[in-house]
């Protein structure tokens, strides 16, 4: 198995690089890719930089250039569902682009012709995530993640995303990564730990909790890798 493990920001993959120990670094398409062996799995680890475009480039590169056959995303997210508190884990059941809007032509939000509003996650990787949660006795929320090229720190925009897509959390990369994996038939799993509530305090909370929440997510991903290896 060749497993891609990606994040958007350096903080999101640093705990993974620390855990794998030795790795080789390859520069390609203006980014760095870290090749490592972990429990007999071949890993390719990378952070994309922020947003849908960079994450599309990185996900595509991980699959097409580095030949990965499974993709796990680890990172942080803003909470929409108020059951989700800072540090909690959410795994996406499906993902949507909340900022994709050609409603002027009668299409629903998040839809373009020949595309789909929601992209569904891989059932087997979801099951693996649930098994890990049970093993660790950690709550794992399953829900809808909304993605857009905006850091949301606005209760009104947050509420609109909640109502329009029934989304539980939001971030800036998941749906684009999901779209790439879906198109290329690569099973994927988008895992996030909450860093803020996408409200007026989001900027401050994000800065405060980025590292600790990114570590929560990365630690969980490592347990998923343990299971995929065995
Ligand atoms: O990769 C981006 C990061 C914020 S932008 C998306 N990530 C974090 C998830 C996220 C998020 N996305 C949208 C956590 N909270 C979010 C929110 N809205 N409220 C960034 C952060 N720091 C420096 C530069 N850019």
Q: Where are the domains of the chain?
A: 2-229
pLDDT at 148: 99
Which residues have CB under 6 Å of ligand 1? 8-9, 50, 76-78, 151-153, 170-173, 195-196, 198, 202, 206
Query: What average pLDDT does this structure show over 73-98?
Result: 98
**Close Cβ partners of 196 (under 8 Å, ≥ 6 residues apart):** 78, 79, 86, 153, 202, 203, 205, 206, 209
Query: What average pLDDT does this structure show over 211-217?
Result: 98
CA separation (Å) from 184 to 7, 101, 179, 214?
Answer: 19, 24, 9, 27
H or E stretch at 45: strand 41-47
Cα–ligand 1 centroid distance for 77 (angstroms): 7
Cα–ligand 1 centroid distance for 201 (angstroms): 13
CATH assignment of 2-229?
3.40.50.1580
Which atom from ligand 1 is nearest to the alpha carbon of 196? 15
Query: d(Cα 55, Cα 174) in Å, to the nearest integer?
Result: 8
Q: Indicate the DSSP class of residue 105.
A: G
Instruction: Count other C-beta atoms under 10 Å from residue 127's C-beta.
Output: 11
Percent of the chain with pLDDT over 70: 100
Cα–ligand 1 centroid distance for 136 (angstroms): 27
As a whole number of angstroms, the longest Cα–Cα distance in the chain is 52
The catalytically annotated residue of 168, 196, 205, 216 is 196
pTM: 0.98
Residue 118's pLDDT band (cuts 50, 70, 90): very high
pLDDT at 105: 98
Residue with CA at minimum distance from ligand 1 atom 14: 77
**Close Cβ partners of 200 (under 8 Å, ≥ 6 residues apart):** 153, 154, 155
**Close Cβ partners of 37 (under 8 Å, ≥ 6 residues apart):** 20, 43
Which atom from ligand 1 is nearest to the alpha carbon of 50? 1
Is 12 a known active-site residue? Answer: yes
Q: Which of 56, 150, 206, 214 to mutate for ligand 1's pocket (most ligand atoms within 8 Å of CB)?
A: 206
Query: What average pLDDT does this structure show over 180-203?
Result: 98
DSSP structure string for 135-195: HHT--EEEEEEEE-SS----HHHHHHHHHHH--SEEESSHHHHHHHHHHTT--EEEEEEEE
Query: d(Cα 167, Cα 156) in Å, to the nearest integer?
Result: 14
Is 142 a known active-site residue? Answer: no
Cα–ligand 1 centroid distance for 148 (angstroms): 10
The upper half-sphere exposure of residue 222, i.e. CA atoms within 13 Å in the direction of its Cβ, equals 19
Cα–ligand 1 centroid distance for 172 (angstroms): 7
Query: d(Cα 143, Cα 163) in Å, to the nearest integer?
Result: 14
**Segment 137-163, tens digit of pLDDT:** 999 999 999 999 999 999 999 999 999
Q: Kindly state the tokens that stand for 211.
A: 């590292």
The catalytically annotated residue of 12, 168, 173, 205 is 12
Asked if residue 91 lies in contact with residue 171, where contact means CB atoms within 8 angstroms, the answer is: no
């Amino acid at each position: 198995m060749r497993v891609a493990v990606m994040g958007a920001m350096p903080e999101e993959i640093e705990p993974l690089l620390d855990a794998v120990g030795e790795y080789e670094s390859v520069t390609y398409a203006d980014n760095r890719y870290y090749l490592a062996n972990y429990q007999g799995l071949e890993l390719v680890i990378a952070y994309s930089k922020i947003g849908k475009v960079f994450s599309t480039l990185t996900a595509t590169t991980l699959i097409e250039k580095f030949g990965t056959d499974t993709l796990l995303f680890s990172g942080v997210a803003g909470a929409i569902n108020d059951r989700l508190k800072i540090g909690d884990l959410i795994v996406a059941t499906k993902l949507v682009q909340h900022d994709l809007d050609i409603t002027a032509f009668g299409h629903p939000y998040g839809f373009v012709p020949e595309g789909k509003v929601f992209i569904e996650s891989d059932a087997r990787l979801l099951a693996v995530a649930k098994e890990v949660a049970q093993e660790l006795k950690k709550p794992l929320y399953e829900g809808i993640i909304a993605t857009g090229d905006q850091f949301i720190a606005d209760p009104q925009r947050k509420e609109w995303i909640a109502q329009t897509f029934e989304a539980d959390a939001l971030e800036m990369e998941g749906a684009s990564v999901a779209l790439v994996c879906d198109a290329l038939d690569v099973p994927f799993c988008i895992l996030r730990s909450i860093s803020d509530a996408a409200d007026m305090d989001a900027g401050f909370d994000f800065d405060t909790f980025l590292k600790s929440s990114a570590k929560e997510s990365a630690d969980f991903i490592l347990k998923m890798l343990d299971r995929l290896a065995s």
